[in-house]
């Protein structure tokens, strides 16, 4: 995801800013790709491990086989056992889209990266 952004914008380095969980993502990015980070700004987040309270959400999202769904409602319903809150399911599905062929996609790189980061600080 970041590679295509850097390429599309002809960037060698960037100033990276993150707030809350985005701060964790920004810190992990700086550790993984130090040559790409010109400046790092982190707000409302500390470089430490946090309680693993979101694994079930990541597992439910990453377990979806989107090729078997025809409607957004079907996906919402499929997530219900693992994510009972309708509001949370709808929030999470804001990253759901359709490609040119009409097939659903969910950008999973952020989900995989966030799950990695939430499991512990630094090179989890």
Per-residue pLDDT of 59-115, as tens digits, reads: 898 888 999 999 999 999 999 999 999 999 999 898 888 889 999 987 755 555 555
Q: Is the whole model's pTM more than 0.85, yes or no?
A: no
What is the model's pLDDT at position 59? 86
Under 8 Å between Cβ of 43 and 21: no
Which neighbouring-strand residues pair with 18? 42
Helix (H, G, I), strand (E, B) or coil at 71: coil
The Cα–Cα gap between 24 and 48 comes to 9
């Amino acid at each position: 995801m970041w590679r295509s952004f850097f390429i599309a914008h002809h960037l060698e380095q960037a100033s990276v800013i993150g707030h809350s969980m985005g701060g964790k993502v920004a810190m992990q990015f700086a550790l993984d790709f130090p040559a790409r980070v010109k400046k790092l700004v982190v707000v409302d987040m500390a470089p430490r491990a946090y309680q693993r309270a979101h694994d079930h959400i990541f597992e439910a999202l990453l377990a979806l086989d989107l090729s078997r769904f025809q409607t957004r409602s079907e996906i919402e319903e499929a997530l219900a056992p693992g994510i009972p809150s309708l509001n949370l399911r709808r929030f999470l599905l804001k990253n759901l889209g359709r490609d040119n062929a009409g097939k659903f996609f969910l950008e999973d790189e952020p989900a995989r990266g966030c799950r990695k980061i939430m499991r512990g600080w630094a090179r989890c």
